[in-house]
């Protein structure tokens, strides 16, 4: 029997995510190029929906299954999740179509013996859709209830509540369960009418005057995007790049994929910018993306081993991190991450920050940033690695940016103590942390 191309593609991507891939990359891979725009949109909805709501889906499936989920083959479990998401969350999709395709997909994956089991579980689910809705007591939500309601691991919700409070944690988790806005950075405001004529509907940014939010249309199909005159970049990420500041010599550590590097180049057109990237293939992609930026030199090197002079006026250390501030875009992270990972990341981040600081001239400034919410990757790194430095209150740099397009009048809205702190959902952006250091 024929199977929906969107469901077929979604299952393939979910299986690759289980093997360590990232949905945001796989959904832009060649696997989806042969789909129609409608099927591509449905495949994206299915993949992201399953990843966002996985624990709720698993609880319902486990309640109806005669076998433990840990004993199921990946092809069987992902097919069940795919159908359960459609049954419970997509009212416009006929439930019988979701069930029938799940059974056929299992057969296609050479798991024909599991087809009756999949069919039986899903037929039961059609009669018990309420299993996909957690039971909540009246009144304020508890931490376990937030975990169940928003399909987040309890350990993450617990630590966020301790750090930010229950109300802010509710906001973070809620935001993570929705499709985040597509923000673009406009290098040239004259591009906006061109985008409008191309059928792209735009709204103003929440943080920056040079940001627009795409409310309709596919920005990736425009000439302005393909020519690099606009770039897709979360608005908080754009702000971090602006905070890195101006100078004659700038160093961008861990620079790929290059959105922040492009903004540094734009703001410092007469300056020399060195962009380092550990992985050669990512460095080459970065080089191609920035090929028109003649003031940027890209080098593939581990910044902790790089032989660079200690004469940079400004350094940006936007380090690899857990990404817990980006779960709306990368929901698979919450199912992979554990506390051991945070310890490993902390050690790497400390090493990168120490190396980056060694390249800073006396009196220069370094911006350390992550898209993580975790103290091990933020305050704790600053405390351990910057013992011979001063923390510059980020409000000083934010005050400068108010004259250059920052829309936030009160810096306390996006700062905590001396640091930049933006929580997911507060301004419809990813979560970011940043600290400004000087020697």
Q: Which helix (H) or strand (E) holds 231?
A: strand 230-232
Q: Which residues have a Cβ under 8 Å from the Cβ of 248 and sit 6 or more positions away?
A: 271, 272, 313
In the block, residue with structure tokens 């690899």: 320
| Packing angle, helices 74-89 and 95-108, rounded to 10 | 170
- Distance separating alpha carbons of residues 439 and 431, to the nearest angstrom: 27
Query: Looking at residue 32, what is its pLDDT?
Result: 86
Mean pLDDT of 171-190: 93
Cα 430–19–159 angle (5° rounding)?
40
Q: Which residues have a Cβ under 8 Å from the Cβ of 127 and sit 6 or more positions away?
A: none
List the catalytic residue out of 173, 253, 321, 371: 371
Q: Which residues have a Cβ under 8 Å from the Cβ of 425 and sit 6 or more positions away?
A: 171, 172, 174, 175, 176
> Is there a contact between 183 and 168 (Cβ–Cβ < 8 Å)?
no
Q: What percent of the chain has pLDDT over 90?
A: 87
- Distance separating alpha carbons of residues 95 and 102, to the nearest angstrom: 11
Cis peptide leading into 184, omega within 30 of 0? no
pLDDT, one tens digit per residue, over 418-438 is 999 999 999 999 999 999 999
Name the pTM for this structure.
0.94
> Is there a contact between 422 and 414 (Cβ–Cβ < 8 Å)?
yes
Torsion sign (Cα): 151, 155, 156, 157: positive
Query: Looking at residue 40, what is its pLDDT?
Result: 94
pLDDT, one tens digit per residue, over 39-71 is 999 999 999 999 999 999 999 999 999 999 999
Map out the domains of the chain with their CATH numbers: 5-132 (1.10.940.10), 143-176 (no CATH), 182-231 (3.30.70.1170), 233-438 (3.40.50.150)
Query: Looking at residue 72, what is its pLDDT?
Result: 96
Q: Could you tell me how far CA 68 lies from the centroid of its own chain?
A: 31
| Packing angle, helices 37-52 and 5-18, rounded to 10 | 40
**CA separation, residue 135 to residues 88, 93, 126 (Å):** 15, 25, 19
Q: For residue 86, give the nearest of 117, 56, 46, 48 by alpha carbon.
A: 46
pLDDT, one tens digit per residue, over 266-325 is 999 999 999 999 999 999 999 988 988 999 999 999 999 999 999 999 999 999 999 999
**Residue 371 annotated in active site:** yes
Query: Looking at residue 1, what is its pLDDT?
Result: 67
């Amino acid at each position: 029997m024929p199977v929906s191309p969107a469901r077929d593609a979604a299952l393939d991507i979910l299986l690759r995510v289980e093997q360590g891939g990232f949905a945001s990359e796989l959904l832009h891979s060649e696997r989806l190029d042969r789909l129609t725009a409608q099927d591509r949109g449905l495949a994206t909805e299915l993949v992201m929906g399953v990843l966002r709501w996985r624990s709720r889906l698993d609880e319902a499936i486990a309640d109806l299954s005669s076998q433990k989920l840990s004993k199921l083959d990946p092809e069987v479990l992902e097919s069940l999740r795919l159908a359960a998401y459609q049954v419970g969350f997509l009212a416009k999709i006929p439930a019988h179509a979701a069930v029938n395709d799940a059974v056929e997909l299992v057969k296609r994956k050479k798991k024909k013996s599991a087809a009756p089991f999949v069919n039986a579980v899903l037929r039961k689910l059609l009669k018990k859709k309420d299993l996909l809705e957690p039971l909540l007591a009246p009144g304020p939500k508890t931490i376990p209830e937030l975990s169940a309601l928003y399909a987040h691991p309890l350990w993450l919700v617990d630590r966020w509540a301790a750090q930010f409070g229950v109300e802010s944690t509710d906001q973070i988790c809620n935001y993570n369960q929705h499709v985040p806005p597509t923000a673009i950075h406009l290098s040239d405001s004259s591009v906006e009418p061109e985008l409008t004529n191309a059928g792209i509907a735009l709204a103003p940014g929440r943080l920056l005057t040079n940001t627009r939010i795409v409310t309709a249309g596919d920005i990736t199909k425009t000439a302005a995007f393909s020519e690099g005159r606009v770039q897709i970049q979360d608005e908080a990420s754009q702000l971090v790049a602006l905070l890195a500041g101006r100078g004659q010599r700038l160093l961008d550590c861990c620079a790929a994929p290059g959105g922040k590097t492009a903004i540094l180049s734009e703001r410092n057109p007469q300056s020399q910018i060195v962009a380092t990237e550990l992985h050669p293939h990512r460095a080459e992609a970065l080089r191609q993306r920035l090929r028109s930026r003649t003031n940027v030199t890209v080098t593939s090197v581990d910044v902790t081993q790089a032989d660079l002079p200690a004469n940079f006026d400004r350094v940006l250390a936007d380090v690899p991190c857990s990404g817990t501030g980006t779960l709306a875009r990368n929901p698979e992270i919450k199912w992979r991450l554990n506390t051991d990972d945070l310890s490993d990341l902390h050690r790497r981040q400390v090493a990168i920050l120490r190396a980056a600081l060694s390249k800073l001239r006396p009196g220069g400034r370094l911006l350390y940033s992550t898209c993580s919410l975790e103290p091990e990757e933020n305050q704790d790194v600053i405390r351990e690695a910057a013992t011979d430095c001063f923390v510059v209150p980020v409000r000083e740099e934010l005050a400068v940016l108010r004259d250059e397009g920052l829309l936030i009048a009160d810096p306390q809205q996006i700062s905590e103590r001396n640091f930049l702190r933006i929580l997911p959902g507060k301004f419809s952006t990813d979560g970011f942390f940043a600290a400004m250091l000087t020697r």
